[in-house]
Amino acid sequence: MDLTHALLLVAAGVAAGAVNAIAGGGSLITFPSLIAVGLPSVEANVTNSVSVFPGYVSSVAGSRADLAGQGRRVRVTLAAVVAGCAAGCALLLLTPARAFELVVPFLVLGATATLAFQERLRGLVGHPRAMSPRRAAVTLQLVVFVGAVYGGYFGAALGVMYVAALALILDEPLKRINALKNVLSAVVGLVTLVVFAIFGEVDWGAVALVAPATLAGGYAGARLARRLPARVLKYLIVTFGTAIGLLLLYRAVIA
């Protein structure tokens, strides 16, 4: 790998870490960059999943103030995150990717639309305060599990999907939901790191460049997200999600 490729991966890592902390979708920066330096698509996907994990951890550190009082919520969803992510990793390693690639753009665009029209949808499904405790608990587990399956398989825009779904079912400010998203994404990242390190083809040289860069970008992005007004943060997430969904759709159609 020459110096130009190394600089590209470092820059992509910083940008991806920041984007993941603010809205999610940073893998759409690092994954194409890994392809650009010559990695095959599956190896690039696996390497990317391992590389972005430190950025998730630093984004949790950067948003820890907004995690206050959410400890129990994190603990009760851990099993669903681990199980879902392990299932997603198995799908990636054992099945053809083409069918899921065609579905992914619509999942991302659907999640983004859910967040964009959050208040209208709440009018249809009911405000989170109107949910019974049992219904809210079951819905949260289901959302976390399905998101983790997606995260284990591909992961790009996982943050967008989590924020969109969680904002619909939790009666919390968007900053606190974004902080919870960071924790869930970090757990998904840890599981993918362990599974792919054992069973996947990881380019550890690329990881050594991208991972520290995502660490710096993730912390900076999380600190920025805490300072943004809720409306601005929502617009950023919707914009990122729409762009990512259209890009994935374009790639799926021309593939």
User: 3-state SS of 165-210?
Assistant: HHHHHCCCCHHHHHHHHHHHHHHHHHHHHHHHHHHCCCCHHHHHHH
Name which of 34-48, 99-113, 158-172 the model is least confident about. Answer: 99-113
Q: Is the pLDDT of residue 158 over 80?
A: yes
Domain map of the chain by residue range?
A: 3-254
Q: What is the pLDDT averaged over residues 196-208?
A: 93
Q: Is the pLDDT of residue 191 over 90?
A: yes
Cβ-based neighbour number of residue 208 at 10 Å? 12
Cβ pair 255, 129 in contact under 8 A: no
**Residue 179: DSSP 8-state:** H
| Nearest CA among 45, 104, 115 for reference residue 246 | 104
Residue 219: pLDDT band (50, 70, 90) is: confident
Enter the tokens of residue 179. 């902080």
Residue in the block written with tokens 């083809």: 201
Q: CA 229, CA 207: separation in Å to the nearest integer?
A: 34
pLDDT given at position 126: 66
What average pLDDT does the structure give for the chain?
A: 86
Q: What is the pLDDT averaged over residues 177-186?
A: 92
Q: Is the pLDDT of residue 8 over 90?
A: yes
Cβ pair 222, 65 in contact under 8 A: no
Residue 255: pLDDT band (50, 70, 90) is: low
**Residue 229: DSSP 8-state:** -
pLDDT given at position 6: 94
pLDDT given at position 123: 67
Residue 196: pLDDT band (50, 70, 90) is: very high
- Quick one: CA dihedral 202, 203, 205, 206, positive or negative? negative
Rounded to 5 degrees, φ, ψ at 128 are -50, -30
Q: Is the pLDDT of residue 122 over 80?
A: no
pLDDT given at position 97: 72
Q: Is the pLDDT of residue 118 over 80?
A: no
pLDDT given at position 82: 97
What's the pTM? 0.83
Cβ-based neighbour number of residue 217 at 10 Å? 29
pLDDT given at position 43: 86
Q: Is the pLDDT of residue 168 over 70?
A: yes
Virtual torsion, Cα 253, 189, 69, 140, nearest 10 deg: 50
Q: What is the pLDDT averaged over residues 223-245?
A: 79
pLDDT given at position 26: 81
Name which of 67-71, 116-120, 238-242 the model is least confident about. Answer: 116-120
